[in-house]
Amino acid sequence: MAIFNLKVNGENHQVDVDPDTPILWVLRDNLDLVGTKFGCGIAQCGACTIHLDGTAARSCSVPISQVGEASVTTIEGLSEKGDHPLQEAWREHDVPQCGYCQAGQIMNAASLLSKNPSPSDQEIESAMYGNLCRCTSYLKIKAAIRTAADQA
Amino acid sequence: MSIVKTTVDRRSFLKVSALSTGGIVLGFNWACTPQEAVRAIPSEWFDVNAFLKIAANGMVTIMSPNPEIGQNVKTSMPMIIAEELDVKWEDVIVEQAPLDTDAFKRQVAGGSQSIRQGWSSLRMAGATAKQMLINAAAKQWGVDPSGLTASEGVISGNGKKITYGEIAAEAANVPVPEEVKLKDPKDFKIIGTERRNVDLNKIVTGQPLFGLDHKVDGMLYSVVLRPPAFGAKLKSFDDSDTRQVNGVQDVVQFGDKIAVLATSTWAAIKGQRALKPEWDLSGQLESTSYHDETMRNLLDTPSEEPKRNDGNVKRAFAEADKVIERTYEAPFLPHNTMEPMNFFANVTAEKVELVGPIQTPEWTRSRVAKLLEREESEVSIDMTRMGGGFGRRLYGDFALEAAEISSMINSPVKVVFTREDDMTAGTYRPGSKYKFRASIKDGQMTGYHLVGAGVNMRNATRENNFPAASLDNYLIESHNLQSNITTGAWRAPITNFLAFAEQSFIDEVAIELGQDQVQFRLDLFERALSNPVGEVGYDVEKFMGVVKLAAEKSNWTEKKDGVYKGFSAYYSHNTYVAEVAEVVMSGGTPKVQKMITAIDCGIVVNPMGAINQVQGGVIDGIGHAMYGELTFEAGVPQSKNFDQYRLIRTSEVPDVEVHFVESNNDPTGLGEPSLPPAGGAIANAIHAATGQRFYQQPFIKEKVVFG
């Protein structure tokens, strides 16, 4: 075990965990931030997507020892009042079916829009390719990202 | 307006004015958007019946009885109650009901039956409560209730008005009426309108909702090692390395499984990986090649008891000018819900507390009680929102594991499957094969013969479904291959592949006869309508209705340069669906660019959620037809995670256009019926584009088409 200092959603935390612990499990089990979901454990589905210094990362495959000074953002901290343009667009389009993958979808899309505020449809598809939705709500996910991008 | 006898028993009407739920005033995020006013949740509620309680300020809490797996019943079932209760939807809070078989009927998510089978009792619950509120107002005013009306939470009459909230305390104590009036569908104000998912705000802000999010103090996480092959048994194991892992608290064996208990999920996962088991592999270990060979032999074996045998098929084939024979083959499929299987259990001397994602809480309660030798009344189940079901969560194996482990270690425990555990310890869609034969005489189909064979399939066919009743000579046979691989229902069981096979074959026969594929189907329907042969297991006119609607909406007969169309239609879960696929060639490879769907599911309760279900079913059907396959070698599943198992992804998805038949009929299923026709529609369109037929799923393995 080892002590790690983390900055998550603007708050400092200290945790005592094994260095190989994926940040996903630190968020979920140690910090009670369960919005970040476990899907595959091998960075193939995107359900666990968070931001490290504003860039999308698969938290299931980032050991806490590699987080270093990076600032961690989860779905709980994406916006102060839950009103990020993507969260609003998700509401407008009533995107979710089961809803399990949606936090990861939103976090991945937020990273895309922060770097490319007006992506083409093809750029959206390409950026979102790594995020699985087993209910296949893909049409609404794309429409919601389009809405958020067009309103920005 | 119709008058119905109430059948809700006394138990459902608690008729106690339930007092404080703790007196804490919580902030409630009212209508999803944070900008809107936050109203306080009242601390005092009056239970009118098991489905609903009303607060003095007019807010209504509606309990959603059935498990939510993404089919959106947590929104649509309360909409039905709210409609008959006649309140504003904005005044409704929805809560998930726990398992309570005294109060609620059929708390199951399966067979696309929640809305269809809940329709009457949900309407009655709302209408009964409305009448009780009216009766209470009438009593207070000393007037006859028949002169009073209620709308949007306000009772009027006799020149007076009173809100539901103001009369709720009294209403909880009036007798349950023996008869209530239900609304005429033309007066619906909530049913048929677009209402957003009631959990939307929690989903997009990452609040706890799912089984995997459930946590209590002192709970241990358990990751279980299960036999690596179906048919393998545990001989012995060495857990010395596991016990060295930080956070691992205990290791226990139950049956052929080993549970690692730890203070975190990661420690439990590491502990599971560090186990050194020895397996007994002397049992029956099946491979896909064995299934294939055995089922192919079965297809050539006449069955002693055909499922249906009209006319004289043997003679029709003997006299035929031509016989068309085609065989279609389906692989096993895992469910792959995004939320892996998991369940919480806390077994104590007093009670057995279970929390988690389960499609069949009632069945699970009875199995857990039996397993632990406890009374069912000691077992409680709270249903969490499910990160997908697709049939996997019908089987409570994970809940039974949690209960057994908790009882062994005397601690609250949550069993968590890794993705590898989830994919390799499944209850799979079993492999199946179908041989279709059609006899052609004088340019007509004179006989139809289908033989099905499936793994663990008591009936691989749907013998009374289309084209039954439209042919004089019609023979349906089914064979079963018993296997020790665990199999079960997978979204639209049997028909998820049978429909593809049948609709591909019908397309091929129509073309062979030089007929238009839509007209060919309509001619068969005409026969089933005007002069049916034997039992007709479907409503011919409704079926024709969706076929015509899909043809119309897709401009079926109109040729478009570079666009190739494929038709398919199927009846399942009491709902009729027809689909047209549009395929274009892109870089030498066919690409499905659009699906046009026509659906008759009766009244559409929530068009917004309904479109999600149809789009989801269609794309799910396309995805698994294109990419899905799980094979076995000596009992071992050959795909373990998403790097070895392809699911459809965002860039592979066509547009899906959804057209509902306008109807005042009671609603039927919607979570499954749009899936079965999808594979046939795209296969027939790809044939139109390339001349290539598909006889096996997944299509992607067809190198001639996909390179």
Domains and CATH numbers, chain B: 2-199 (3.30.365.10), 211-282+341-416 (3.30.365.10), 290-331+428-706 (3.30.365.10)
Q: What are phi and psi of B149, to 5 degrees?
A: -125, 160
| Residue in B246, B265, B620 closest to A29 by CB | B265
Whether residue A119 is found in the same domain as residue A95: yes
Min CA distance, B621 vs chain A (Å)?
10
Whether residue A68 is found in the same domain as residue A14: yes
Whether residue A8 is found in the same domain as residue A65: yes
Asked if residue B481 lies in contact with residue B498, where contact means CB atoms within 8 angstroms, the answer is no
| Residue in A75, A98, A129 closest to B387 by CB | A98
Q: Which of A77, A109, A141 is the last residue of a domain?
A: A77
Tell me the chain B residues in contact with residue A97 when contact means C-beta distances shorter than 8 Å.
70-72, 612-613, 616
Tell me the chain A residues in contact with residue B340 when contact means C-beta distances shorter than 8 Å.
38-39
For residue A36, give its domain range.
Answer: 2-77
Task: Please judge whether A99 and B387 are an interchain contact, meaning their C-beta atoms are less than 8 angstroms apart.
Answer: yes
Interval B355-412: pLDDT, tens? 999 999 999 999 999 999 999 999 999 999 999 999 999 999 999 999 999 999 999 9
Residue type, B632: F
pLDDT at A152 over 90: no
> According to the model, what pLDDT value does residue B4 have?
59
| Residue in A83, A128, A134 closest to B338 by CB | A134
> According to the model, what pLDDT value does residue B108 have?
93
How many A-B residue pairs are in contact by the CB < 8 A criterion?
191
| Residue in B199, B270, B649 closest to A99 by CB | B199
| CATH number of the domain that residue A135 is part of | 1.10.150.120
> According to the model, what pLDDT value does residue B46 have?
87
Q: Which of A46, A77, A108 is the last residue of a domain?
A: A77
Q: Could you tell me how far CA B224 lies from the centroid of its own chain?
A: 27
Task: Give the separation between CA B571 and CA B557, rounded to whole angstroms.
Answer: 23
Task: Please judge whether B419 and A134 are an interchain contact, meaning their C-beta atoms are less than 8 angstroms apart.
Answer: no
Total domains in the fold of chain A: 2
Task: Please judge whether A87 and B205 are an interchain contact, meaning their C-beta atoms are less than 8 angstroms apart.
Answer: yes
| Residue in B221, B338, B416 closest to A39 by CB | B338
Whether residue A92 is found in the same domain as residue A119: yes
* Percent of chain B at pLDDT exceeding 90: 91
Interval B193-217: pLDDT, tens? 999 999 999 999 999 999 999 999 9
Min CA distance, A31 vs chain B (Å)?
12
Whether residue A15 is found in the same domain as residue A63: yes
Q: What are phi and psi of A151, to 5 degrees?
A: -85, -15
| Residue in A38, A98, A133 closest to B340 by CB | A38
Average pLDDT, chain B: 93
Average pLDDT, chain A: 97
Whether residue A111 is found in the same domain as residue A73: no
| Residue in B70, B615, B620 closest to A99 by CB | B70
Mutate to test the interface with A, among B263, B266, B337, B620 (most CBs of A within 10 A): B266
Task: Please judge whether A99 and B653 are an interchain contact, meaning their C-beta atoms are less than 8 angstroms apart.
Answer: no
> According to the model, what pLDDT value does residue A151 have?
87
Whether residue A8 is found in the same domain as residue A61: yes
Q: Which of A30, A50, A77 is the last residue of a domain?
A: A77
Task: Give the separation between CA A139 and CA A119, rounded to whole angstroms.
Answer: 16
Task: Please judge whether A82 and B197 are an interchain contact, meaning their C-beta atoms are less than 8 angstroms apart.
Answer: no
Model confidence at B158, pLDDT cuts 50, 70, 90, reads confident
The H-or-E segment that residue B451 falls in is: strand B444-455
Tell me the chain A residues in contact with residue B247 when contact means C-beta distances shorter than 8 Å.
18
Token pair listed for B362? 């009632």
| Residue in A44, A103, A138 closest to B641 by CB | A44
Tell me the chain B residues in contact with residue A144 when contact means C-beta distances shorter than 8 Å.
none
Question: Strand pairing of B589-600 and B473-481?
Answer: unpaired
Higher per-residue pLDDT: B8 or B313: B313
Interval B452-494: pLDDT, tens? 999 999 999 999 999 999 999 999 999 999 999 999 999 999 9
Token pair listed for B320? 């035929």
Task: Give the separation between CA B501 and CA B499, rounded to whole angstroms.
Answer: 5
Whether residue A59 is found in the same domain as residue A89: no
Please state, in angstroms and as integers, the Cα–Cα distance from residue B197 to each residue in B107, B613, B638, following that order: 20, 12, 37
Tell me the chain A residues in contact with residue B609 when contact means C-beta distances shorter than 8 Å.
94
Task: Please judge whether B620 and A135 are an interchain contact, meaning their C-beta atoms are less than 8 angstroms apart.
Answer: yes
Identify the closest residue of chain A to B206 by CA–CA distance.
A35
> According to the model, what pLDDT value does residue B20 have?
28
Whether residue A109 is found in the same domain as residue A136: yes
Model confidence at B527, pLDDT cuts 50, 70, 90, reads very high
Min CA distance, A93 vs chain B (Å)?
9
Q: No. of H helices and E strands in chain A?
A: 5, 5
Min CA distance, A84 vs chain B (Å)?
10
Whether residue A35 is found in the same domain as residue A92: no
Min CA distance, B207 vs chain A (Å)?
6
Residue type, B320: A
Whether residue A66 is found in the same domain as residue A30: yes
> According to the model, what pLDDT value does residue B9 have?
43
Min CA distance, A83 vs chain B (Å)?
7
Task: Please judge whether A106 and B204 are an interchain contact, meaning their C-beta atoms are less than 8 angstroms apart.
Answer: yes
**93-122 of A, contacting B, C-beta below 8 A:** 94, 96-103, 106
pLDDT at B556 over 90: yes
Whether residue A104 is found in the same domain as residue A58: no
> According to the model, what pLDDT value does residue A69 have?
95
| CATH number of the domain that residue A56 is part of | 3.10.20.30
This complex has an ipTM of 0.99
The sheet with strand B257-262 has its strands ordered as: B248-254, B257-262, B220-225, B413-416, B342-347, B352-356, B379-383
| Residue in A39, A101, A136 closest to B620 by CB | A136
Min CA distance, B471 vs chain A (Å)?
38
Tell me the chain B residues in contact with residue A44 when contact means C-beta distances shorter than 8 Å.
641-643
pLDDT at B178 over 90: no
Asked if residue B487 lies in contact with residue B286, where contact means CB atoms within 8 angstroms, the answer is no
Q: Could you tell me how far CA B477 lies from the centroid of its own chain?
A: 27
Interval B643-701: pLDDT, tens? 999 999 999 999 999 999 999 999 999 999 999 999 999 999 999 999 999 999 999 99
Tell me the chain B residues in contact with residue A28 when contact means C-beta distances shorter than 8 Å.
265
